[in-house]
Amino acid sequence: MSFLSTLRDSPAPAVAVEIAANRVSAAALEWHGGQATVALHASEPLPAGALVPALTAANTHDRAQVLEPLTRVLERVGRPRRVGLVVPDVVAKVSLVKFETIPGKAQELDQLIRWQVRKAAPFALEEAQISYIPGLRGDDGQEYVVSLARRSVIEEYEGLCAAAGAHAGIVDLSTFNVVNAVLAGTPTLTADWLLVNMAADYTSIALLRGENLIFFRNRAADTEGTLADLVHQTTMYYEDRLKGAGFAQVILAGAGAAPSDQAIDMDAARRNLEERLRTPVDLVDPRTAATLTDRITAAPALLDTLAPLVGLLLRDRVKVPA
């Protein structure tokens, strides 16, 4: 198992699976002349309450009601033996830490990062799975993107895959892989951009400078305040603390976050964000990174569902801009 806080590292598997609060989904790619195409995909809803993503508590509340649709989804994408697994953002705590000087040995860096995040950890580090990658480097030091999750929670998700006949060789967060999909489709992106990812039970905001994450915030769906308030607070932080000069691109994801009878009004959300940010807002579209076969209809909810799956499958195709 590899729990990764990475936007680009580690070879991609053949099939990606996402286990979210309201659905399980999977996708596989095929290649034609160097162009990725979504060859297979499947998705099934989960009953309310069967899986409740959380950082410190057990996530699986009715294992059978998660395992049965997961098994059917995997059958529809070819019964893979190895998969990459996308899990909800809320199962991990994401931090950005900066050091003026970096230890020469990997073990010393690991210890330094663990010491840095231990005070904010909601459980003992002995229970934690921690991973990190280099982020933005500046005159004042090297930043690292650090993800911390409770090992037992990650093992729950791995165990579901194992019971369905698949080994989860990579475990990663949903929003990170939506970022991967965007970067795979626009590999020359170097300016600042903003991603708002609306899941059924949370909203995550990621600010990036090119391919480097410079801000990440996650908020539960039942938290007081509107999406516009959250984006406004983030934008103020971006301008005041990160010396932001404006977003070259703003992307909204979440059309597939709720069941069809409770669909998020993405047009209204987009208009609200455009008014607040005074810049155009685009809906996420993984077709910039992987085309769809003729038999697949590109409904907005499907594109949203495919985005983190395509992002994970193309993680080793995301290149550092020259």
* 133 domain-assigned: no
Residue 277 belongs to what domain range? 3-91+150-317
- Is residue 255 predicted with pLDDT exceeding 70? no
Rounded average pLDDT over 159-163: 98
32-53 average pLDDT score: 94
Q: Is the confidence at residue 267, as pLDDT, over 90? A: no
C-alpha 287: how far from chain center:
17
For the ranges 125-139, 223-237, 260-274, the lowest mean pLDDT is seen at 260-274
Does a structural domain hold residue 220?
yes
Select the more confidently predicted residue: 190 or 174.
Answer: 174
Q: What is the CATH number of the domain that holds 283?
A: 3.30.420.40
Q: Establish if 102 belongs to a structural domain.
A: no
pLDDT tens digits along 179-226:
999 999 987 888 999 999 999 899 999 999 999 999 999 988 777 777
Is residue 44 very low, low, confident or very high in pLDDT (cuts 50, 70, 90)? very high
Three-state DSSP at 265 gives coil
Would you say residue 136 lies in a domain?
no
**Most confident of the ranges 58-67, 112-121, 137-146:** 58-67
- The DSSP symbol for 246 reads -
Distance separating alpha carbons of residues 125 and 150, to the nearest angstrom: 9
**Residue 322 placed within a domain:** no
Whole-angstrom Cα Rg for the chain: 19
Work out the average pLDDT over 76-91: 96
Q: Please work out, in degrees rounded to the nearest 5, the angle formed at the alpha carbon of residue 53 by the alpha carbons of 17 and 314.
A: 30
Model pLDDT, residue 2? 53
154 within a domain of the structure (yes/no)? yes
Domain count, the chain: 1
Banded model confidence at residue 311, pLDDT cuts 50, 70, 90: very high
pTM: 0.92
* b/e sequence 42-79, b meaning 16+ C-beta within 10 Å: bbeebeeebbbbbbeeebbeeeebbbebbbebbeebee
Domain for residue 135, yes or no? no
pLDDT of residue 116: 93
